[in-house]
Amino acid sequence: MRLPLLIFFKILVAGLFAQSKDLVTNQGITSAFHRENLGKILFTAQNIPVAKLLQKDVLTEYTLTNKSDLFMTVFMGNSMTNYMHSLAPHLPADSLVKTGNYQFSLFIDNRLVYESNLYPGAPNRRVQDTATVISKPLIDNKHEGVYWTQSYWQRFLLNGGDSALTDGKHLLHMQIRPYVQLQNEIKVGDIIAEGSLNLTVQRSIKIDLADIRLNPLQPYPGFGISTDKFDRKKIITLKAHIEQGTYKHINGLIIVSNGNLLIEEYFNGENRFTLHDPRSVGKSFASTITGIAIQEGYLKDEEQRLSDFYDLDRFQHYAAEKEDVSIKDLLTMSAVIDGDDNSFNSPGNEENMYPAKNWVKFALDLPVKLARPAGEWHYFTAGVVVLGDILHKCVPDGLEKYAHLKLFKPLGISEYEWSYTPQHVANTAGGIRLRALDFAKYGQLYKNEGKWNGRQILPVQWIKKTFTRHKKITGRMDEYYGYLFWNKKYRVAGATYETWYCTGNGGNKIFIFPDHPWVIVVTASAYGAPYAHPQVDKMMTEYILPALTGK
């Protein structure tokens, strides 16, 4: 069979380029289907393995709803490393993967909406050296936040895509180019693949309030049923939006008012007995146990220093400044140690910690960062792991048993699961699984100033210290950090509502309102999704707080 002239020319050019210019060996043209679609981006509604992909599976038009999935398959004539090599011939392969990547451009109705140079390193070097096919999800509702392509799509939505994809018909067009950054210059290559898809967008939902019921309330140990008034229509509308996918991967909503259950709703297969992973919400539990341990004399106070617990000159990058790092520095995430989860280049970024065989050693081996202003807040997960290790060393029978005896048992919490460090110490970095209602108990404990059923579990003074604005959160307006708790204000209809809260990846929250009678828990699993926290803020300001206040 004779090939179309354009395809033949593309293959010829790719072959000549490979023979004379390639830096690394790529996987080549993988199939006849690859050859026929060279330089194209194809869209499908399902995850179809490349080897089984047929032309009939390829979408030319698609209805996009809040629950739609969308996958792409990209057929290239070379690997990304070789494309980048053509832009920077003097660089070796291991340098190219650190200086460049794909540039993705997304157009809606022939207007460029979002263009992004993907951060070097994802996908990894092996893939960039060899792959001539990309097969990844842009939207995969069952597996949120797994792939870099999903992160790119979410950034597109946050940077104009959401407002561009109004209900109605649109043309989506995507282009991929290589880029490299050389000192202050970014060099961008020619288009290596592109594709279009006609969309019919149907994201606005229709709500019939008569068809929606709130979950009937039942008592739960520690909580009775509240008779406080709230705007049911607001909460019913929110429930409809969650069920129809406007707010994604929200799994639970608990509202306690004046110590009793006011609202209890679950989604996506969860229920009141589900053990939910709240990620970094679990960090706050380390603060709680620290307060109890100080009260009982197992720690002197939060001014104790690392040098009281570790022989620091046995670790790498010894510096006198490490000796002076205090428990308070770990609680307020302001240690001089060079660890910042919000900086990909930070040596103490948590993603560098997880592969390590010993997380405490990883943290204590880190250098100090004197260039950072003294005492400045920086999100430092590894520091909370060190705090957990200190607690484990100091309290009777280790952290896990102590937490059970002093916190969970008095609260009547028996069903929970810790995750663990490689040394099998309860992991204070996050991930302790509890029922949503038991997270609400934890929040209510703070609302009760440390009391539960008349018993003082947590010292009042510790709660006051915890709910003190010790540090201003870097890069945020009017937001602060206490002892592993966050602080901010919501503004609704001209009124301000201050909250102290725990927060974790995926949009997980425990809110305590010091000036109002509420504890609010949101459990969610939008792990890794950039919309996870903003959508909870929107739920709070547009539905939850208006429903509770009548404003």
The reply to whether 167 falls in a domain is yes
Closest among 268, 83, 253, 63 to 176, alpha carbons compared:
83
Q: What distances in angstroms separate CA 408 from CA 167, 201, 331, 446, 466, one per listed residue?
A: 48, 48, 21, 14, 19
The tens digit of pLDDT for each residue in 98-150 reads 999 999 999 999 999 999 999 898 888 999 999 999 999 999 999 988 898 99
The reply to whether 97 falls in a domain is yes
Counting other chains too, the contacts that 232-238 makes at CB distance below 8 Å and 24 or more residues apart are 232/547, 233/209, 234/543, 234/544, 234/546, 234/547, 235/263, 235/265, 235/543, 235/544, 235/547, 236/209, 236/212, 237/207, 237/209, 237/543, 238/539, 238/543, 238/544, 238/547
Counting as low any pLDDT under 50, the low residues of the chain are: 1-3, 6-20
What tokens does 167 get? Answer: 């209900």
Kindly tell me the burial class for residue 511, based on how many C-beta atoms sit within 10 Å of its own C-beta (0-12, 13-18, 19 or more): buried
What tokens does 149 get? Answer: 């392509």
The tens digit of pLDDT for each residue in 238-255 reads 999 999 999 999 999 999
Asked if 120 and 148 touch (Cβ cutoff 8 Å), the reply is: no
Amino acid at 144: E
Closest among 114, 164, 140, 172 to 48, alpha carbons compared:
140
Number of Cβ within 10 Å of residue 342's Cβ equals 11
The reply to whether 260 falls in a domain is no
Give kind and range of the element (H or E) at residue 73. strand 70-75
The values of phi and psi at residue 226, to 5°, are -80, 145
120 Cβ contact list (under 8 Å, min separation 6)? 97, 98, 99, 100, 101
> For position 2, what pLDDT does the model report?
47
> For position 551, what pLDDT does the model report?
85
Buried b (16+ CB within 10 A) or exposed e, 158-180: ebbbeebbeeeebebbbbbbbbb
Integer Cα distance of 56 and 75 in angstroms: 17
The reply to whether 165 falls in a domain is yes
First to last CA, the chain: 71
Number of Cβ within 10 Å of residue 121's Cβ equals 13
Q: pTM of this prediction?
A: 0.90
The reply to whether 169 falls in a domain is yes
Amino acid at 499: T
Closest among 203, 212, 253 to 67, alpha carbons compared:
203
Q: What distances in angstroms separate CA 278 from CA 312, 349, 364, 435, 540, one per listed residue?
A: 33, 20, 26, 10, 18
25 Cβ contact list (under 8 Å, min separation 6)? 129, 130
Cα 3 to its chain centre, rounded Å, is: 47
> For position 520, what pLDDT does the model report?
99
Asked if 307 and 323 touch (Cβ cutoff 8 Å), the reply is: yes
The reply to whether 57 falls in a domain is yes
Enclosing domain of residue 165: 5-201
The values of phi and psi at residue 381, to 5°, are -60, -40
Integer Cα distance of 91 and 18 in angstroms: 17
Angle at 90 between CA 86 and CA 179, to 5 degrees: 40
98 conformational bin, left if phi > 0, alpha if psi -120 to 50, beta if neither: alpha
Q: What distances in angstroms separate CA 140 from CA 66, 155, 523, one per listed residue?
A: 11, 15, 20
Task: List, as one string, the DSSP characters of 530-541.
Answer: TTHHHHHHHHII
Integer Cα distance of 543 and 231 in angstroms: 9
CA 412, 227, 267, 156 torsion: positive or negative?
negative
Scanning the structure block, which residue is given the tokens 């609680």?
A: 331
Integer Cα distance of 122 and 362 in angstroms: 23
Number of Cβ within 10 Å of residue 370's Cβ equals 11
The reply to whether 509 falls in a domain is no
For the chain, the domain total comes to: 1
Number of Cβ within 10 Å of residue 103's Cβ equals 19
The strand pairing partners of 182, in sequence order, are 185
Q: Helix, strand, coil % (nearest 5) of the chain? A: 35, 25, 40
